[in-house]
Amino acid sequence: MLAVEHLTVAFGRRPPAVRDISFAIPEGGRLGIIGASGSGKSVTALAIMGLLPEYARVGGSVKLGGAELVGLPDHEYSKLRGDALTMVFQEPMTALDPTMRVGRQIAEAYRLHAQGSKARDEVLRVLAAVGMPDPARVADSYPHELSGGQRQRALTAMAVINRPGLVVFDEPTTALDMLVQAQVLEMIDGLLRATGASCLFISHDIAVVAQLCAHILVMQDGQAVEQGETGQLLRAPRHPYTQALVAAARKGAVRG
């Protein structure tokens, strides 16, 4: 479904933020990317979405369903975004337009790809699908009137309303507190199950990724240092950085 090969992204004259990354996600598959802050996770996600600033230089290949995306002009890319692939951003505080009612933002994503159908009904349906208790009230709210968890659910609703084949989550729960984080993860899991969408899930928390994804890719300083099946990788991490991550997660789990 998604095949990334030798992806490299550089900004200006600095050393590449992402270097020679390759991975593949099959139809309905889930891959988790973990790595420290600044390791190039978001840049990888934005490169797949074609949302990097114009001064970024992208090399390598990103293929979605066999079609090459690197170098695609923005007007072509934007037809795919929201329809074939989409992304949920990290910061629920800043990823919703403060000047627009939540329902309108979600409806906008819907109308771009569907004609003639009733957007309002669809918005309420998808808000219910992401576990929002009072969809009508949420749809008529401005972002600042919602809690962090609600906003993250609204963002997810906006992203999945057109049933895209691939959803990229960039640390969707990092900004949320533990309890809400668990609820949102559960919602994402159910949603992916229900729609059968493939997913690229980014986090710096190996426990979160392990809970959701069958495969994991570990990034350090812009490079993929290790990737493999989740159980295998947790049981027998080979790279020192992965070993440290797994050990730290174990300690946390014992203490918590």
Partner 1 sequence: MRKLQFYLGLALVGLVVSAALVSLVWTPYDPLQVVPADRLLGPSPAHPFGTDGFGIDIASRLLVGARYCLLVGIVSVTLAALVGVPLGILAGQVGGWVSEVVMRLTDIVYALPALLLAILLAAIFGGSTLTAMAAIGVATVPAFARTARAGTLQVMAADYVLAARACGTRGVALAARHIWPNIAALAGVQASIGFAMAILAEAALGYLGLGTPRPTPTWGTMLRDSQEFLFTAPLQALWPGLAIAVAVLGFNLLGDGIRDLTDPRLREAS
Ligand X SMILES: Nc1ncnc2c1ncn2[C@@H]1O[C@H](COP(=O)(O)OP(=O)(O)O)[C@@H](O)[C@H]1O
Contact, 92 vs 155, CB < 8 A? yes
Report, in Å, the least distance between residue 100 CB and Mg ion. 24
The residue behind tokens 């200006």 is: 12
Which residues within the stretch 115-174 sit at the binding site for partner 1 (CB under 8 A)?
155, 158-159, 162
Which residues ranging from 105 to 134 are in contact with Mg ion (CB under 5 A)? none
Give the one entry of partner 1, Mg ion, ligand X, none that residue 43 binds, where binding means its C-beta sits below a cut-off of 5 to 8 angstroms depending on kind: ligand X
171: region left, alpha or beta (phi > 0 left; psi from -120 to 50 alpha) = left
User: What CA–CA distance (Å, rounded) separates 75 from 107?
Assistant: 20
- Please list the residues that pair with 169 across neighbouring strands: 88, 201
Task: Give the whole-angstrom CA distance, residue 168 versus residue 90.
Answer: 11
Distances (CA, A) of 3 to 60, 103, 186: 11, 34, 27
Shortest CB 68 distance to ligand X, Å = 22
Segment lying near Mg ion (by CB under 5 A), choices 39-47, 59-67, 185-193, 244-252: 39-47
CB of 89 to ligand X, least distance (A): 11
Both tokens assigned to 118: 């009733």
Provide the token pair at 208: 């979160």
- For partner 1, the binding residue among 89, 169, 201, 241 (CB under 8 A) is 89
Nearer to Mg ion, 42 or 156 (CB): 42
Q: Which is nearer to partner 1, 105 or 242 (CB)?
A: 105
Using the minimum distance from each CB to Mg ion, give the nearer residue, 38 or 240: 38
Smallest CA-to-CA distance from 200 within 185, 219, 215 is with: 215
Alpha helix positions (H), 145-239: 148-160, 178-195, 206-212, 230-235
Say whether residue 42 binds ligand X (CB under 6 A).
yes
CB of 45 to ligand X, least distance (A): 8
Under the binding rule (CB under 8 A), the answer on residue 53 touching partner 1 is yes
Amino acid (1-letter code) at residue 83? D
> Which residues would be at the binding site for partner 1 (CB under 8 A)?
46, 49, 51, 53-54, 74-75, 78-83, 86-91, 94-100, 105, 108-109, 112-113, 155, 158-159, 162
> Which residues would be at the binding site for ligand X (CB under 6 A)?
11, 17, 35, 37-43, 53
> Which residues would be at the binding site for Mg ion (CB under 5 A)?
42
